Amino acid sequence: MRWWILFSCALAPAVAAEVPLMDFARHPQYEDVQISPDGDYLAASAVVGGRIVLSLIHLADMKGVNIVAHNGGDLAAFWWVAPHRVMYAVGERFGGLEAPQSTGELYAVNADGSGAQLLFGLRAGGNYGATHIAHAGPERAFGTLIAPLRDDARHALIASYPEGGTTGPYPEDYKIDLYDGSKVRLATAPMHNARFLADHKGGIRFAYGIENDQKQKVFYRADDGADWVRVFEESSDGNRIEPLMFNRSGDAVYFECGGICRWDVATRKLATLWSGGAAEPTGLVTTLDDLDAFAVRSEPSRPALTLIDKGAPEAKLLVALMQQFAGEDVNFTSRTRDGSKAVVFVHGDTDPGRFYLYDAAKKTATFLLARRPWIKPEQMASTEPIEVDARDGLKLQGLLTRPPGKAQAKHLPMIVFVHGGPYGVRDHWRFDAHVQLLASRGYAVLQVNFRGSGGYGPAFLHAGFREWGGKMQDDVTDATRWAITQGVADPSRMCIFGASYGGYAALEGAVKEPDLYRCAIGYVGVYDLRLMSTRGDIPQSAFGTNYLKLVLGDDSDELYARSPIAHLDRLKAKTMLIVGGADRRVPPIHGESLHAALQARKIEHVWVYEGMEGHGYYDEKHVADLYAKLLDFLDHQIGAATTH
């Protein structure tokens, strides 16, 4: 799912050599880059001719081939599954949607572009007639990779999620042939929504996930013939743990447990290795051979790294790379099986990201590719982590971005940019095209991780349950007032903006605090909470229905009372509504109903509607056009065209 948000505006004086709107609207040239297990090739997701393709590059001469997905679709994901073979998934544009949606089919291709084969999915296989030759067969299921097999270049482990979702058959895992698609079932999960974890030898040992009752469960089996045994279940305080990877020897498993824990396979006891306090881990940093972990990544405000094995050779390497790329975030995206080479990703608040090839023997990092090569970091705005005290004393983390060259500027027009989700999602210190667009036009941008956001532990997450329009909204208000008190924001030029839940918060903020914001922009937003239980794709399953009851409640009168559409008599802010006509997450009826209600009250507002867009605009021309409309709207409300 996508929770996209976009913006722009002009403000006196204009920034020299203004970055074109299309530079922010364009999709990244290279989203991901991975090195082959033997180090001979790179695989990358690349935009070519408006489509996302699998680009296979021979490292010796940097020449390669682009693999165009079936029926002109888009690459959705890819994985190296053997030294010279790549598995990939495809997204197609269904029902007029601009954004590609994954088909759940799995393909494989050789590193030189030969031997392409549909391995798994509804269209797999063919009319083979009577034959004893193994081959793929059609599957009404969604497939994804669990893990490659280190000592078997012919096979890999995949998970199959049958039709029926949370009410159908349980997921299964298979060993699949990477050339003919034939497969052998290894296990059936003991629950719906299960994910699988294999040990380094390819044995499926864990099945875990969140069941329809919204409780997390973790199952373990000691060997391939053993029964599944439940080893963990979500506690009454909402604490969840899940397995991440086996250690090198296979006698212990790293778990996320609010921090990072070590689970002893023999004793089945859990011990804490790392605790980040209020900040949860964002991942483990694995050794160059990918068999163990030596550090923990977290993000209390900016990305942080903590060593759990200070003696690992990779520890010194990573520290050296962090010193080389000071002020940016450095991470390994992939490595060869022998650890001799790795792809390093370097990015920051002003840099969308660059990929480097690290050579362990030479101790060098050589530039490979840039995600958005047209973006010049020196033209972008720095993002500063902030901390805000909510009215009830809860500590809130957030981000403040001021226009380029105005790091200390005061009394700026400000956009309060509210993230979507809302639960488990957060704003990160990283390059954000939407934030940078606004900043490039002279606006300060304020983001806050209100209660309910992810990354700060279960208590912080659960504090947001059933607080739509309540304490979650108050957190946004408190952050807004903080920016005014600090002198950063001009209180007469404040706008609130967001997508999905953020669109709800934008309009709810405008009616709950009618004198705080001059304008409000709702983008694919929720405006009548009663519709959440009957419309869209969330209530189409038992899992989704139970989730909505947990986080929203089911009292219809209360839900309406917390809906922006119920309080339009309090609306003073100028309003802009942006709707995708093919949105399945928040159907267009939300925007259309609010649009009609505003028209009935003769309240002028800007209406933007794209029939083929879904939950966030995808087509670059549509995005650029939306940016232009946002520019004009903001300019006349709080920007250069405003008369004070």
User: pLDDT per residue over 195-243, tens digit each?
Assistant: 999 999 999 999 999 988 888 999 999 999 999 999 999 877 778 899 9
Residue 115: how many CB atoms within 10 A of its CB? 13
The pLDDT score that the predictor gives to residue 70 is 67
CA angle 457, 463, 469 (to 5 degrees): 135
The pLDDT score that the predictor gives to residue 98 is 60
The pLDDT score that the predictor gives to residue 470 is 97
Domain boundary residue among 373, 394, 413? 373
* Residues 348 and 433 reside in one and the same domain: no
* Residues 383 and 353 reside in one and the same domain: no
The lowest-confidence range among 119-133, 168-182, 426-440, 494-508 is 119-133
The reply to whether 530 falls in a domain is yes
What CA–CA distances, in Å, run from 380 to 19, 335, 374, 498, 635?
9, 31, 12, 21, 20
pLDDT in tens, 89-109: 988 765 555 667 778 899 999
pLDDT in tens, 315-331: 988 888 999 999 999 99
The reply to whether 45 falls in a domain is no
The domain tally of the chain equals 2
Helix 471-485 and helix 501-512, axial crossing angle in degrees, nearest 10? 70
* Residues 314 and 439 reside in one and the same domain: no
The pLDDT score that the predictor gives to residue 4 is 32
* Residues 440 and 293 reside in one and the same domain: no
* Residues 493 and 395 reside in one and the same domain: yes
The reply to whether 52 falls in a domain is no
Q: What is the mean pLDDT of the chain?
A: 90
Domain boundary residue among 357, 373, 389? 373
* Residues 359 and 430 reside in one and the same domain: no
The reply to whether 445 falls in a domain is yes
pLDDT in tens, 360-373: 889 899 999 999 99
* Residues 344 and 400 reside in one and the same domain: no
Q: Does position 482 have pLDDT exceeding 80, yes or no? A: yes
The reply to whether 446 falls in a domain is yes
Tally of residues, the chain: 644
**DSSP secondary structure code for residue 247 in this structure:** -
Alpha carbons 503 and 521: distance in angstroms, whole number: 7
What CA–CA distances, in Å, run from 41 to 59, 178, 374?
5, 18, 25
What CA–CA distances, in Å, run from 183 to 119, 205, 265, 390?
9, 19, 29, 54
Please compute the mean of the pLDDT values over residues 16-33 and round it to a whole number. 91
Domain boundary residue among 339, 356, 373? 373
The reply to whether 138 falls in a domain is no
Q: Does position 2 have pLDDT exceeding 50, yes or no? A: no
The reply to whether 219 falls in a domain is no
More confident residue, 100 or 459: 459
Alpha carbons 547 and 14: distance in angstroms, whole number: 46
Q: Does position 644 have pLDDT exceeding 70, yes or no? A: no
* Residues 338 and 306 reside in one and the same domain: yes
Q: In what order do the strands lie in the sheet with 252-256?
A: 242-246, 252-256, 260-264, 270-274
Q: Does position 7 have pLDDT exceeding 60, yes or no? A: no
Alpha carbons 285 and 304: distance in angstroms, whole number: 12
Residue 110 tokens read as 């050789």
* Residues 548 and 565 reside in one and the same domain: yes
The pLDDT score that the predictor gives to residue 122 is 80
CATH of the domain at 434: 3.40.50.1820
The lowest-confidence range among 115-124, 261-270, 623-632 is 115-124
Residue 126: how many CB atoms within 10 A of its CB? 11
Q: Does position 8 have pLDDT exceeding 90, yes or no? A: no
Q: Structural domain of residue 344, as residue ranges?
A: 278-373
Q: Does position 27 have pLDDT exceeding 50, yes or no? A: yes
The reply to whether 601 falls in a domain is yes
- The answer to whether 146 and 157 have CB atoms below 8 angstroms apart is yes
Q: Does position 13 have pLDDT exceeding 50, yes or no? A: no
Query: Residue 17: which pLDDT band, with cuts at 50, 70 and 90?
Result: low
* Residues 476 and 501 reside in one and the same domain: yes
The pLDDT score that the predictor gives to residue 5 is 29
The pLDDT score that the predictor gives to residue 9 is 32
Task: Fill in the amino acid letter for 323.
Answer: Q
More confident residue, 133 or 388: 388
| Residues in contact with 20: Cβ distance below 8 Å, sequence separation at least 6, in sequence order | none
* Residues 348 and 406 reside in one and the same domain: no
The values of phi and psi at residue 408, to 5°, are -115, 10
**Cα within 13 Å of Cα(471), Cβ side:** 19
Q: pTM here?
A: 0.91
pLDDT in tens, 136-157: 767 888 999 999 999 999 999 9
The pLDDT score that the predictor gives to residue 350 is 97
Terminal CA-CA length for the chain: 41
* Residues 466 and 548 reside in one and the same domain: yes
Element (H, E) at 387: strand 383-389
Q: Does position 623 have pLDDT exceeding 50, yes or no? A: yes
pLDDT in tens, 28-85: 999 999 999 999 999 999 999 888 999 999 999 999 999 987 666 889 999 999 999 9
Q: Does position 254 have pLDDT exceeding 90, yes or no? A: yes
Rounded to the nearest angstrom, the gap between the alpha carbon of residue 601 and the centroid of all alpha carbons in its chain is: 38
- The answer to whether 196 and 146 have CB atoms below 8 angstroms apart is yes
Query: Residue 166: which pLDDT band, with cuts at 50, 70 and 90?
Result: low
The pLDDT score that the predictor gives to residue 140 is 82
